[in-house]
């Protein structure tokens, strides 16, 4: 059975039943069909938030297929519930782009999925659409003002950094010229589209603590400059009220269930290579308010999602995890050990051992935050007994608790051992986490600390462009906010070809983006695309629906 | 009180209660919150469809403010329910474009509105978003194929007619160049965006009778030519399955309620000047399956919405209305009688009488379909007794039943008289409607018949471009489908300055668009924009939401 068939083989329980177990009265739910509901923000209880056990799931450097972080998150959540813990999985919503591109769905896999899988991978409750509309309303207001005769703010079209967004892998929209067609068509200018998951509106949603905060952040969005060099913000266009109105429902987290009928909250979905890579602060707090454990994930390896999870999200929201799970796969370790991608399914203990330094580096990074660590070995059918034994032995040697995670094949039952280790780790944790840098550090210091402590780099170089942008950032008074480095997920370095554990490398910051509303700066290391393209054979070609509404090809 | 305040002053009943009155079991509903639900297509009962009383609401040539057709439709529906008839209003969903532009919401007005007004005017149940995504997925597949090395179909980028869509008034997107930025950014080409309401996907949704039919129509979408001159369709890109999958929920009609707590079905929203201007066939059939009366509307004056309603929708769906209501306002008649826009609120019986020929022309047009007609005088506060008396007297003189429609001020109670006339008209109707042209007529004959019978034009002229496109249309085998003329709504002619009842004018067809999936040709008369712009002061600036989620400025 493929993922879609497995998902459809389990009859979901009415979402009211799942909510009831979390002590959420049915009347406070806003239903979207029978199996999805929005939770009102008023259910957040700050006292419970502080007491709860927040568990972060991160990973080693992934192969292109991903290491199954979401699968482990969902399986672990079901495992914890089987152990009698009131646990809630809190994860990101999938983007439509990959669904019709290469990767397929993003709601877990095998027997560790959230359902209704089809809805979640299609429009779900419309959050991405709302984000896109809020984003693009601001764009329309900008171009309308540039064209305006009576109310022109003097925006210099060449300086406008704000782009439109679309939740689609569409490379042709990456760089466009708009406003063509003569006088009635606007003022021509170069611009582009970001995929919605990479938009600042998405980042803002995930950083906001309330509707008021959301609106305030919208008002602070930096658009570009006037011809006289002064900055223009979204508030200058009176955009924030209408943008927040469009987000009225999108700000509320979504409740669904796992295949084990345990609660899962999905909310927000910024990518981790080009944005902060973790679900909304509101959703995480909601999970902690309703359960005793929250299992959450942050995208790609710990150098991307986890670093941002701690230094941006936890710091801003006043959260502190009780344990971190690092997901490793035997496949990926062999890949980092030098085995070619196509041969990863054949046994190779030597290559596996050669991959250990990558795991070691991620463990070191995560330990730098001062929180207990557990390794989850996400099991694939092709893994051999000898390989499984070797990785578990290695973890014992270096003194890290480790367990096989068999959520894909067995659901929650396959994650009970992992769950037990996580509970023990959480119980042992008495610290709050320590961040990698202080907000008062200069921007360059911040980048350097992340590059050295987390990536294992020797130094950081800023391009000429980046250096002059830094002056602009200082002028705007934005030096004392966190950084959200955009970097390839394929390597600990900024060069995707350096797999394993790269040594003696420097990180080059090509340029900065300013996400003043989200409240962070985006130093861009290397070439990172904020609008993906479709592959030669898009998966859209095999997605189909029959006359009865039965979908195929979506997995 | 403004419209939003009135809408919020009435507590909506749970939508299950509204459904129950239509004999729809609560379990078959797909809830979207407490007051919106999707209805499964299986509830359509073709036998009931044929027996039901379908009432079309159309209008005279409107002023820029509109004549309140939706307000009359909703008021009349409430009036009919007060008279003991099981009546359902079936109308279009509003577009976000006008909401943030000039016009504001489009869910009726005063005490004749559908609620929840805010949701309906914002994202509602996501149908427009789904349409946009299906549209833009096809665009991404087209540009991906143009860029493809191994699977290139040889599409000539200069011939691609398919545009992207966005539900936003954004003139800067009307004409764009995409695919810039070098080799990885695609092949540069000129294209543009239509507003979603003007997209062919919207037209297709509204013409489809099932999910299967929808997919079949998607496959037939004409995209452009190969370099060898042969046509390319969406099926060549294997797009139809994924597009239909994206429309899985959007194809289901939406149930809400009027302020009088009577059922209203909202589904689809093509504009009437540039598309077919009426809700989906599925929604109309759903209404007739669940009620004895359906009150529906078609956009702008009878020259646009009503003509297309009969010749395209009713013919295709096998529907035949029992009565047509022509909405006139004293304001608009005075405007057509030569009174300036700013002076319409002062009494002027002379100008009113001068405007009668416009009403007369619309009545003649509607009568050409062979269905009984009723005039609804949609009352405004500024109308005087003398004016009201004069218009009713005039209708009596020319032998048309007429009533004041006071739905704005009084809700259903203000439409009981109108309702009575409508019931009598429907009871008197024994005919099926006669179309303006036969499908076997040549394209030019079809245009000529509509121009002469409906617009009162003397002749039709085709530009050189249109003439050569006609040859292409013949080559594609598309001559025997209906036509959907795009024309200004401000005049019976194609020149918006000719108000009243223009005489001795010709209609010029500038060019054709081919909507092969929707199943009609679009002859474009004059300059019609398929992507509107924002005004100097967009209404977005005054839309706001407070920390409790209370919205203002949306009306």
Which ipTM value was assigned to this complex? 0.95
A18 lies in the same domain as A43 = yes
Active-site hit among A103, A163, A446, A501 = A103
Tokens at residue A207, please? 């950083």
Output helix, strand, coil percentages for chain A, rounded to the nearest 5.
Answer: 40, 20, 40
Using the 3D structure, point to which of A199, A224, A246 is the last residue of a domain: A246
Can you give the residue range of the structural domain that contains B471? 443-525
- What share of chain B has pLDDT > 70, as a percent? 99
Q: For residue A94, what is the domain's CATH number? A: 3.40.50.300
Answer yes or no: is pLDDT of A272 > 90: no
Residue B271: pLDDT band (50, 70, 90) is confident
How far away is chain A from the Cα of B534, in angstroms, using its nearest Cα? 6
Examine the domain organization and report whether A279 and A419 are in the same domain.
Answer: yes
Share of chain A above pLDDT 70, in %: 99
Co-location of A240 and A301 in the same domain: no
- Chain mean pLDDT for chain A: 96
Q: Residues of chain B with pLDDT > 90: what percent? A: 92
Q: Is residue A344 part of a domain?
A: yes
The predicted-structure confidence for B345-356, as pLDDT tens digits, reads as follows: 999 999 999 999
What's the half-sphere exposure (Cβ side, CA atoms, 13 Å) at B178?
Answer: 25
Within-domain flag for A109: yes
Would you say residue A462 lies in a domain? yes
Q: Are A387 and A368 in contact (CB under 8 A)?
A: no
Sign of CA dihedral A333, A336, A339, A341: positive
pLDDT digits (tens, 9 = 90+) for A147-179: 999 999 999 999 999 999 999 999 999 999 999
pLDDT of residue B335: 97
Q: Report whether pLDDT(A555) > 90.
A: no
Q: What value, to the nearest 5°, has the Cα angle with vertex A190 and ends A495 and B530? A: 125
User: B395 lies in a domain?
Assistant: yes
| More confident position, B431 or A223 | A223
Q: How far apart are CA B91 and CA B51, in angstroms?
A: 20
Determine which helix (DSSP H) or strand (DSSP E) holds B334, and give its type and residue range. Answer: helix B330-336
Spell out which residues of chain B touch residue A538, defining contact as CB-CB under 8 Å: 140-141, 144
Q: What is the mean pLDDT of residues A52-70?
A: 93
Whether B104 shows a pLDDT value over 60: the answer reads no
**pLDDT at residue B128 above 90?**
yes
B121 touches chain A (CB under 8 A): no
What is the total count of domains within chain B? Answer: 3
Q: Please tell me the distance from the alpha carbon of residue B286 to that of residue B302, in angstroms, as a whole number.
A: 24
A63 among the known binding-site residues?
A: yes
- With CA atoms as reference, the chain B residue closest to A38 would be B33
Q: Which CATH number characterizes residue A155's domain?
A: 3.30.1510.10
B130 vs A: CB within 8 A: yes
Per the CB < 8 A criterion, the answer to whether A99 and A169 are in contact is no
Q: Where are the alpha helices (DSSP H) in B178-305?
A: 200-207, 211-219, 240-246, 281-290
* Minimal C-alpha gap between B241 and chain A (Å): 4
pLDDT, tens digit, 9 for 90 and up, residues B465-498:
999 999 999 999 999 999 999 999 999 999 999 9
Tell me what pLDDT residue B385 has: 98
pLDDT value at B214 more than 80: yes
> CA A109, CA B246: separation in Å to the nearest integer?
21
* B contact test, residue of A172, A179, A185 with most B CBs within 10 A: A172
What is the mean pLDDT of the segment spanning A366-390?
97
A173 DSSP 8-state letter: G
Nearest one of B544, B537, B173, B95 to A243, comparing CA atoms: B544
Judge whether B380 counts as a catalytic residue.
yes
Is there a contact between A143 and B170 if contact means CB atoms under 8 Å apart?
A: yes
Q: For residue B65, what pLDDT band results from cuts at 50, 70 and 90?
A: confident
Which residue among B221, B246, B271 closes a domain?
B246
pLDDT of residue A305: 95
Residues A274 and A402 in one domain: yes
Look at residue A537 and tell me if it is in a domain: no
The confidence score (pLDDT) of residue B103 equals 60
Question: A115 and A183: one domain?
Answer: no
Q: Using one digit for the tens of pLDDT, what is the confidence trace for A14-50?
A: 999 999 999 999 899 999 999 999 999 999 999 999 9
pLDDT grade for B528, boundaries at 50, 70 and 90:
confident
Q: Is the pLDDT confidence value at A130 over 90? A: yes
B25 in A contact zone (CB under 8 Å): no
Q: Is residue B553 part of a domain?
A: no
Are B132 and B61 a contacting pair, CB within 8 Å?
no
Residues A483 and A359 in one domain: no
**Does a structural domain hold residue B254?**
yes
Per-residue pLDDT tens over the stretch A62-111: 998 888 999 999 999 999 999 999 999 999 999 998 889 876 567 889 99
For strands B112-115 and B254-258, give the pairing: antiparallel
CA-nearest of B124, B241, B135 to A126 is B124
Query: How much is the average pLDDT of A444-452?
Result: 98
Residue B27 covered by a domain: yes
Quick check: A171 and B190 CB within 8 A?
no
Give the SS3 label for residue B370. coil
**Mean confidence (pLDDT) of chain B:** 95
Q: Are B256 and B229 found together in one domain?
A: no
Out of B38, B92, B163, B410, pick the active-site residue: B92
Residue closest to B71 by CA, chosen among B284, B379, B344, B333: B379
Query: Which residue among A96, A126, A185 sits closest to B175, beta carbon to beta carbon?
Result: A185
> Would you say the pTM of this structure is higher than 0.90?
yes
Element housing A299 (H / E): none
**Over A486-536, what HEC string results?**
ECCCCCCCCCCCCCCCCCCCEEEEEEEEEECCCCEEEEEECCCCCCCCCCC
Is the Cβ–Cβ distance between B36 and B93 less than 8 Å?
no
Same domain, A494 and A416: no
Shared domain for B322 and B181, answered yes or no, is: no
Residues in A closer than 8 angstroms to B540, CB to CB, are 137, 141, 238-239, 242
Question: Do A294 and A408 fall into the same domain?
Answer: yes
In this structure, the strands spanning A263-266 and A53-59 are unpaired
For the segment B120-135, the average pLDDT, to the nearest whole number, is 97
Q: Between β-strands B506-515 and A459-462, what pairing exists: parallel, antiparallel or unpaired?
A: unpaired
Q: Are residues B294 and B399 in the same domain?
A: yes
Q: What are B128's two structure tokens?
A: 């427009």
**pLDDT value, residue B105:** 62
Segment A394-407 mean pLDDT? 98
| B426, B292 contact by CB (below 8 A) | no
Q: Is A4 on the interface with B (CB under 8 A)?
A: no
Residue B19 is predicted with a pLDDT of: 97
The pLDDT of B325-351, averaged and rounded, is 96
Using the predicted structure, report yes or no on whether residue B129 has a pLDDT greater than 60: yes
Answer for the pair A485, A523: CB distance below 8 angstroms, yes or no: yes
Chain A hits for B527, CB-CB cut-off 8 Å, are none
Average pLDDT value for residue range A404-428: 98
**Are residue B466 and residue B521 in the same domain, yes or no?**
yes
Which residues 6+ apart lie within 8 Å of A230 measured at CB?
Answer: none
């Amino acid at each position: 059975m493929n993922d879609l068939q497995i998902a459809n083989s389990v009859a979901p329980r009415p979402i009211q039943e799942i909510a009831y177990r979390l002590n959420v009265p049915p009347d406070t739910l806003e239903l979207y069909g029978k199996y999805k509901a929005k939770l009102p923000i008023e259910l957040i209880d700050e006292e419970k938030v502080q007491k709860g056990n927040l568990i972060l799931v991160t990973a080693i450097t992934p192969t292109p297929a991903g290491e199954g972080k979401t699968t482990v998150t969902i399986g672990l959540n079901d495992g914890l519930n089987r152990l009698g813990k009131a646990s809630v999985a809190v994860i990101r919503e999938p983007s439509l782009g990959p669904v019709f591109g290469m990767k397929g769905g993003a709601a877990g896999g095998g027997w560790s999925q959230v359902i209704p899988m089809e809805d979640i991978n299609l429009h779900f409750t419309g959050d991405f659409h709302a984000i896109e509309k809020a984003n693009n309303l601001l764009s329309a207001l900008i171009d309308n003002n540039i064209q305006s005769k009576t109310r022109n703010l003097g925006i210099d079209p060449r300086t406008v950094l704000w782009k439109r967004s679309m939740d689609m892998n569409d490379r042709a929209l990456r760089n466009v010229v708009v406003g063509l067609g003569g006088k009635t068509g606007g003022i021509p200018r170069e611009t582009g589209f970001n995929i919605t998951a990479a938009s600042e509106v998405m980042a803002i949603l995930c950083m906001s603590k309330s509707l008021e905060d959301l609106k305030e952040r919208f008002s602070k969005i930096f658009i570009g400059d006037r011809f006289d060099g002064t900055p223009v913000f979204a508030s200058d266009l009176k955009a924030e009220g209408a943008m927040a109105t469009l987000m009225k429902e999108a700000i509320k987290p979504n409740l669904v269930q796992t295949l084990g009928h345990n609660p899962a909250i999905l909310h927000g979905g910024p990518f981790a290579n080009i944005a902060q890579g973790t679900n909304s602060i509101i959703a995480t707090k909601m999970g902690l308010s309703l359960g005793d454990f929250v299992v959450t994930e942050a995208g790609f390896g710990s150098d991307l999602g986890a670093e941002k999870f701690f230094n941006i999200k936890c710091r801003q929201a006043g959260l502190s995890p009780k344990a971190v799970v690092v997901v490793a796969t035997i496949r990926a370790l062999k890949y980092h050990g030098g085995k070619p991608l196509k041969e990863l399914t054949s046994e190779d203990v030597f290559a596996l051992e050669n991959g250990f330094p990558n795991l070691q580096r991620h463990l070191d990074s995560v330990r730098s935050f001062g929180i207990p660590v557990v390794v989850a070995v996400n099991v694939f059918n092709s893994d051999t007994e000898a390989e499984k034994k070797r990785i578990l032995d290695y973890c014992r040697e270096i003194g890290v608790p480790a367990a096989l995670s068999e959520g894909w094949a067995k659901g929650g039952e396959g994650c009970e051992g992992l769950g037990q280790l996580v509970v023990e780790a959480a119980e042992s944790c008495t610290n709050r986490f320590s961040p990698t840098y202080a907000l008062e550090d200069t921007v360059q210091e911040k980048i350097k600390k992340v590059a050295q402590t987390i990536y294992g780099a020797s130094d950081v170089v800023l391009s000429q462009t980046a250096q002059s942008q830094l002056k602009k950032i200082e002028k705007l008074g934005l030096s004392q906010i966190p950084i959200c480095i955009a970097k390839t997920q394929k390597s600990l370095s900024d060069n995707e070809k350096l797999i394993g554990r790269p040594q003696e490398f420097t990180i080059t910051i090509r340029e900065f983006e300013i996400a003043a509303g989200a409240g962070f700066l985006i130093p861009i290391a290397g070439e990172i695309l904020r609008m993906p393209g479709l592959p030669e054979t898009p998966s859209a070609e095999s997605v189909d629906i029959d006359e009865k509404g039965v979908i195929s090809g979506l997995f």
